[in-house]
Chain A
Amino acid sequence: MSLLRYLLIAGLLVVISLPLSGCEQAGERQKMKIGYMNCNSEAETRARFLPLTAYLSHYTGIDFEAVPVDTHEFAERYAQGEFALTHSNSLLYVQLKFDHELQLLAAEKRGNFGSRSAGTIIARKGSGIEKLTDLKGKRMVFGPMMAPTGYLAQYDLMLRSGIDPERDLAYYAIPSGSFKHEKLVYGVYFGAFDVAAAPLLDLEVMTREGKITADDFVILGQSPLVPYCTFGAAAKLDPAVVEKVRRALLELTPETTVDIAGERVKVLKSAWIDGFEALRDADYDVVRDMARRVNMPPYQEY
């Protein structure tokens, strides 16, 4: 009788413990970090991407944490394993693909060209600078060195047009601090520089916001279109997770919302993104060709 009672109690315990352990397993959510390349500041990056990170967590069942990362530290911190997913410009994607087999997840769409943008070289209208050959002997301002459409594309355009920025310009500078692309546009507008390497997207946005008008500047030249910011995943990441995150990004619409601190927020609007699309790695060859010609990572030779 006591044996029967013992078996009954033991059986009951097994029956009760099975669903409990199932709940416990379901409650153990995987944790993962996403490195977001800073545009202007850490605070801005966090604010922009908090809703997107929350959305990805909700969609995939993985607890993602947003990590703002300085552009110049991005490759090094990725190599140290600080984050498994990346959101960076297309040049950093190319570099991490080359060095670490980073997987392409999706490309960000923003502005007139969707998932692509271009670099332009601008001068103030009426300055007498009308074409690329007029650049010789001029004062120029570039965007940050790792910017595909703020530095790389224009440097490449100049080399291909027979102008060596190192020898043919009077001098050139790169502005410091936040909002570098806006600073260089204003730098030309107010006469501190003769010409500037301006991303076409920034000109688009500044025109739309009424900060400048289309007639303020002459566009001396424009680079080919290159992919814009890109989501990547570590080579060793579980393929099921990679696919889930990719699907989550591609399914985002302007109406997708998440709740952040009691407020319903539009994910894409908050991140300044129009959407995502599935580019192919070969679409980045245009960036690779530019990096080779300009002698930049990952092809840099000393």
Chain B
Amino acid sequence: MTQHNDRNLARKMIERARLDYLADLYAPVTAALESGDYSHALLALGEVQRSSPDEAYGQVLKGVILSKMGAIDAALESLAAGIKRDGNYIDRNGSLSYRETVAALVVNQLPLYAARVANDAGDTIALTSKRHLHYLQSRLAGGCE
């Protein structure tokens, strides 16, 4: 029982350390993002991603920044890739969660992309983005993967 509690504690400590490290690593990015300086946030993110290009939190942040800048297709691709790697970033209780941003994106964009695909079945870009939106919708709904 004690051994089990120790393991549980160790796991929590590792998780807390990981989140603190990520928050610290991406602090210049999130600071610029929060102040609305999106171009600067993207450049700061590029610096971090030099050493860890495929890290999930970075991909989620990139998606959030791109969505703020109006690059919705690229934003959805990045968000879907990041959430596939680690769904905690849209977790209700996650300290680094962007759940509300992603949920708003899904609600606002899905009807637009659905209409685009309905109007032009050959619009492959809209089709891909719509797939990403459905994936995010499913993850927000608590789908298992």
Q: A: which residues have CB within 8 A of B?
A: 112-114, 116, 118, 120, 200, 203-204, 207-208, 210, 213-215, 218-219, 222, 224-225, 250, 277-280
Decide: A114 and B39 in contact? CB cutoff 8 A: no
The answer to whether residues A214 and B43 also contact, given A112-B74, A114-B77, A219-B37 and a CB cut-off of 8 A, is yes
Inter-chain pairs besides A120-B39, A207-B46, 5 sampled, C-beta below 8 Å: A118-B69, A210-B50, A214-B32, A219-B39, A225-B71
Decide: B66 and A112 in contact? CB cutoff 8 A: yes
Decide: A214 and B46 in contact? CB cutoff 8 A: yes
- Pick 25 A–B contacts, CB within 8 A, sort by A: A112-B42, A112-B66, A112-B71, A113-B71, A114-B71, A114-B74, A114-B77, A116-B71, A116-B74, A200-B42, A204-B42, A208-B46, A208-B47, A208-B50, A210-B50, A214-B43, A215-B28, A215-B44, A218-B40, A219-B39, A222-B69, A277-B125, A278-B122, A278-B123, A278-B125
Candidate in B70, B71, B77 with the most chain A CB atoms within 10 angstroms: B71
The answer to whether residues A113 and B43 also contact, given A214-B28, A277-B124 and a CB cut-off of 8 A, is no
Q: For chain B, residues 27 to 64, give those with C-beta under 8 angstroms from any C-beta of chain A.
A: 28, 32, 37-40, 42-44, 46-47, 49-50, 62
Give the docked Cα–Cα distance between A118 and B38 (Å).
Answer: 13
| Least CB distance, B102 to chain A, in whole angstroms | 18
Using Cβ atoms and an 8 Å threshold, which residues of chain A touch B91?
A: none
Decide: A114 and B73 in contact? CB cutoff 8 A: yes
| Least CB distance, A5 to chain B, in whole angstroms | 62
Given A114, A214, A277, which contacts B40 in the complex, CB threshold below 8 Å? A214
- Closest B residue to A114 by beta carbon equals B74
| Least CB distance, A208 to chain B, in whole angstroms | 5
Using Cβ atoms and an 8 Å threshold, which residues of chain B touch A208?
A: 46-47, 49-50
4 interchain residue pairs of minimum CB distance: A214-B43, A214-B44, A114-B74, A219-B39
Decide: B123 and A280 in contact? CB cutoff 8 A: yes
Using Cβ atoms and an 8 Å threshold, which residues of chain A touch B46?
A: 112, 204, 207-208, 214
Using Cβ atoms and an 8 Å threshold, which residues of chain A touch B50?
A: 208, 210
| Least CB distance, B52 to chain A, in whole angstroms | 12
| Least CB distance, B134 to chain A, in whole angstroms | 19
- Closest B residue to A283 by beta carbon equals B125
| Least CB distance, B112 to chain A, in whole angstroms | 15
The answer to whether residues A214 and B47 also contact, given A114-B71, A114-B77, A280-B123 and a CB cut-off of 8 A, is yes
